[in-house]
Structure 1
Amino acid sequence: MRDILVTLIVFGFLPLIFTRPYIGALMWVWISVMNPHTQGWGFATSFPFAAIIAAVTLITLLFTKEPKNLPRTSITWVFIAFVLWMNVTSIFAIYPDEIYTQWNKVMKIMLMTFVIFMLIKTKKHIELLIWIIVISLGYYGVKGGVFTLKGGGVDMVWGPQSTFIGGNNEIALALIMTIPLMHYLQITVQKPWARHAFTVAMLLCAVAALGSYSRGALLAIVAMGIFLWLKSRQKLGLALLGAMAIPPLLAFMPEQWSQRMDSINTYEEDGSVQGRFNAWWMAYNLAKARPLTGGGFEIITPEMFYAYAPNPEDVHAAHSIYFQALGEHGFVGLGLYLLLAWLTWRTGSWIIRNTRKLEEYRWASNLATMIQVSLIGFATGGAFLSLLYFDVPYYLMGAMVAMRVLVEKELKQKASAAVTAKAPGSPPQFGQLNPSQSQPVAGDSG
């Protein structure tokens, strides 16, 4: 039944892409983030929905008469450079015969991110993108939260298999990133029941993140919570809410959960943590040996650890977006990635600064703030996970670019109109009297 439902939804929306190409971008986000076909048990689990959506969207993009230029922003240029550099490092990869599958996967994500840059332009498009991300990840958050509550937190929460968020740590970080986006949607809906529903969904996402037993997720929650409190206009209310909600949640979790979280303080004795340090040293030493290009994709091999790791027998994935970028794409790749993150942050700050006092753009200020909060969670939790190519942060970057372009364009138009209205000799605005016209005199019956 689930297979049929996903198939009907995809093929039902495909014809709409030809007249509204942005729908294709949104459908891609839904399929790539939620992976709804993985929730079935039949033919849909291996059906190429994403490829079909991408093909129809790209064909429509080629022939549509709508403007389809990439926005000319600093983020766009650095993102282009980052993608090109990943291709350069692939040419000089240590294992050129082994990288195609990963290269192909990453390039598809990057290509469709460019499509989002070109097609997501209006406030409606941006908010629909946020809705799709929230629905896609919120489904697993609500499901995982209920699972944790029913089982008393004894069993671990996992994500959909064979996806970016399949592991317990990965799904936890994705859910943490979703909570601020949910809060943005909560303050935009009008119905009280919808706001209450978002409150429940956010709490369940938090419970599911705790139920993942992810220590990195706990650190990400703390970092995100501190930043959200600093950004909030209602610091006292937010502090009281945290004081009322957090202790019961922590008290609900079983003893084994507490023991795992306590191991953060004794990381020197934790084999998993030491394995990550070993992988970080391997990536750093490899980058020192190949500072420009790194090792390319697929460098987690016994041979690489034997050559560059302190402990050659402890082979681990990078377990860090930063060391993953460093090991695979060298210091240049890491620099471009960090520059991309910094420019995205600055773009959000520009939006907040220029719209804070404008009521009609309060939505942009609120959304930019919540995306920043979400990215703080990713930057913190991502320090312990191999999620360099996780697509959601790139889609949020696209939303930030679209907001910046839209807000800047409209503010310039308003400023230009205001200057024109005040200029000598300008045509009268509606409801104003042309100075060249005679003033009415007393007793004039017209």
Structure 2
Amino acid sequence: MRDLLITFIVFASLPLILKKPVNGALMWIWISVMNPHTQGWGFATTFPFALIIAVTTLFSIATARARKTPPANGITFTLLALVLWMNVTTLFALFPAAAHEQWGKVMKIMLMNLVIMVVVRSREDVHRMIWVLVLSLGFYGIKGGVFTAQNGGNFRVWGPPGTFIGGNNEIALALIVAIPLMRYLQLSSGNRWVWHGMNLTMILSAMAALGSYSRGALLAITAMLALMWLKSGRKLLGAVLLILLAPPALLFMPERWTERMDSIGAYQDDDSAMGRINAWHMAFNLAKDRFFGGGFEIAEPSAFAMYAPNPDAVHAAHSIYFQALGEHGFVGLALYLLLGGLTWRSAAWIVRHSRDDPQLRWAYDLAKMIQASVIGFAVGGAFLSLLYFDVPYYLMAALVAVRALVAQRRAAIAPATAANAGRTLHGRVAPEPPR
């Protein structure tokens, strides 16, 4: 039944995609983030839904009369430079067969992200995009939060198998990224059911993140909540809520959860932590030795034998930063950090230029919440191999669209502002010029 439902939804969306390419972008986000086919038990688990949606969307864009290029700004150019550099490093990959297979997967993600930048243009498009992201991840937040509450936190929360967010650490970080987006939807809606629904979803998503037993997630959710509090206009109320809600949530978790979190300070005695540090050393040594890095998929025994302090402890990078460094060298890491920096600055620009305009209040709230999502991902990603996780790239695309909309609004009101300034001099009407 689930397989048939997912198949019906996808094929029913195809006429809508042909009519408006943005519908294809939203369907792609749903398929790539929620991975609804993993919730089936039959043919849907391997059916190429994503390929069908991607091809239909590209055809729709090709036949449409609308703009076919993304807005020109720093984020777009840097992303294109990073994608180009990934293609170059693949030519010099240490393990060509594995690298080319991963290259195909990553290029699909990057292509569709550029497609999203092309077709997401209006406030409605952006709003719908955030709704799709929240519903896609909120499904697992509600499911995981209820599971944690039912079992007293004694069992770990896992994501959908075979996906970016299949692991306990990965699903936790994805939910942390989603929580500020839920807050944005709450702020942008006057519907009390949406307000209460988002409150419940945020609480359950936070419980699911805690129930993952991810130590990186604890650091990430702390950073995310701290930034949300700093960006809040009601800091006293926010502080009171955190004080009231955080201790009961932590006390609810069992002793073995507390013991695992306490091990953060004693990482020298933890094999998993030391394995990650060994992988970081390997990535750094490899990047020093090879200008182009090792290409995709370098977690191989032979690479560790050449570059790791402990050649027997073979691990994935477990860090977006060392993953970029090891796979794409110092140039790749620099481009990735630049992309993150430009994303932050773009959000800050939106906040600064929409603060005093009531019609741009939605942009102001969204940019602040995306900043909270970004800081959560930046902290949690330091301990996970999620360099190619698509959600942060979708948030970059959202900011590209929002910045363009804010710039259009400012350009539209600039002549009226200048005219009013010219008509007023020190609070009095300026005299008419002589004829």
- Aligning the two structures, in what range does the TM-score lie when normalised by the shorter sequence? over 0.9
One-letter code aligned to 1:384: F
Aligned partner of 1:226 in structure 2 is 226
Aligned partner of 2:112 in structure 1 is 112
Kindly indicate whether residue 9 of structure 2 is the aligned counterpart of residue 2 of structure 1. Answer: no
State how far apart, in whole Å, the 1-side matches of 2:411 and 2:285 are. Answer: 49
- Note the C-alpha offset of 1:417: 4.4
- For 1:164, what is the secondary structure of its paired residue? coil
- Note the C-alpha offset of 1:95: 1.4
State how far apart, in whole Å, the 2-side matches of 1:225 and 1:198 are. Answer: 16
Amino-acid identity (%):
59
One-letter code aligned to 2:160: P
In the alignment of these two chains, the number of paired residues is 424
State how far apart, in whole Å, the 2-side matches of 1:154 and 1:381 are. Answer: 22
Give the TM-score, by structure 2 length: 0.96
Aligned partner of 1:103 in structure 2 is 103
- For 2:19, what is the secondary structure of its paired residue? coil
State how far apart, in whole Å, the 2-side matches of 1:184 and 1:423 are. Answer: 38
Give the TM-score, by structure 1 length: 0.93
Kindly indicate whether residue 64 of structure 2 is the aligned counterpart of residue 64 of structure 1. Answer: yes
Kindly indicate whether residue 173 of structure 2 is the aligned counterpart of residue 173 of structure 1. Answer: yes
CA RMSD of aligned residues (A): 1.2
One-letter code aligned to 1:143: K
Kindly indicate whether residue 170 of structure 2 is the aligned counterpart of residue 187 of structure 1. Answer: no
- For 2:405, what is the secondary structure of its paired residue? helix
Q: Which has the larger radius of gyration?
A: 1
C-alpha deviations, 1:45-75, integer Å up to 9, x for none?
0000000000000011111111222201011
Aligned partner of 2:358 in structure 1 is 359
One-letter code aligned to 1:68: K
C-alpha deviations, 1:391-429, integer Å up to 9, x for none?
0000000000100011101211211344468889xxxxx
One-letter code aligned to 2:353: N
Aligned partner of 1:331 in structure 2 is 330
C-alpha deviations, 1:66-123, integer Å up to 9, x for none?
1222201011111110000000000111112222221000000000000001000000
- For 2:97, what is the secondary structure of its paired residue? coil
C-alpha deviations, 1:127-162, integer Å up to 9, x for none?
111000000000000000000100111110000000
State how far apart, in whole Å, the 1-side matches of 2:307 and 2:251 are. Answer: 43
Aligned partner of 1:162 in structure 2 is 162
1:392-411 matched pairs, under 5 angstroms: 392-411=391-410
Aligned partner of 2:428 in structure 1 is none
State how far apart, in whole Å, the 2-side matches of 1:337 and 1:191 are. Answer: 39
State how far apart, in whole Å, the 2-side matches of 1:81 and 1:160 are. Answer: 32
Aligned partner of 1:258 in structure 2 is 258
Q: Which shows bigger deviation, 199-208 or 226-235?
A: 226-235
Kindly indicate whether residue 301 of structure 2 is the aligned counterpart of residue 302 of structure 1. Answer: yes
Aligned partner of 2:429 in structure 1 is none
- For 2:96, what is the secondary structure of its paired residue? coil
State how far apart, in whole Å, the 1-side matches of 2:94 and 2:264 are. Answer: 35
Kindly indicate whether residue 226 of structure 2 is the aligned counterpart of residue 236 of structure 1. Answer: no
1:289-438 matched pairs, under 5 angstroms: 289-290=289-290, 292-419=291-418
Tell me: CA distance 1:232–1:97, structure 2 relative to 1, closer, same or farther (3 Å).
Answer: same
Aligned partner of 1:267 in structure 2 is 267
State how far apart, in whole Å, the 2-side matches of 1:338 and 1:194 are. Answer: 36
State how far apart, in whole Å, the 1-side matches of 2:114 and 2:106 are. Answer: 13
- For 1:55, what is the secondary structure of its paired residue? helix
Aligned partner of 2:129 in structure 1 is 129
- Note the C-alpha offset of 1:193: 2.3
State how far apart, in whole Å, the 2-side matches of 1:29 and 1:264 are. Answer: 34
* Consecutive aligned runs of 4 or more in structure 1 exceeding 2 Å deviation: 416-424
State how far apart, in whole Å, the 2-side matches of 1:174 and 1:335 are. Answer: 24
Aligned partner of 1:430 in structure 2 is none
Tell me: CA distance 1:420–1:17, structure 2 relative to 1, closer, same or farther (3 Å).
Answer: farther
State how far apart, in whole Å, the 2-side matches of 1:359 and 1:22 are. Answer: 27
- For 1:230, what is the secondary structure of its paired residue? helix
- For 1:157, what is the secondary structure of its paired residue? coil
Task: Point out where structure 1 has 5 or more consecutive residues left out of the alignment.
Answer: 425-434, 436-446
One-letter code aligned to 2:277: F
C-alpha deviations, 1:187-207, integer Å up to 9, x for none?
112221221111011000000
State how far apart, in whole Å, the 1-side matches of 2:412 and 2:351 are. Answer: 19
State how far apart, in whole Å, the 2-side matches of 1:368 and 1:192 are. Answer: 23
- For 2:154, what is the secondary structure of its paired residue? coil
State how far apart, in whole Å, the 1-side matches of 2:356 and 2:408 are. Answer: 17
State how far apart, in whole Å, the 2-side matches of 1:417 and 1:114 are. Answer: 35
One-letter code aligned to 1:105: K
1:41-60 matched pairs, under 5 angstroms: 41-60=41-60
State how far apart, in whole Å, the 2-side matches of 1:323 and 1:423 are. Answer: 55
C-alpha deviations, 1:358-385, integer Å up to 9, x for none?
1110100000000000010000000000
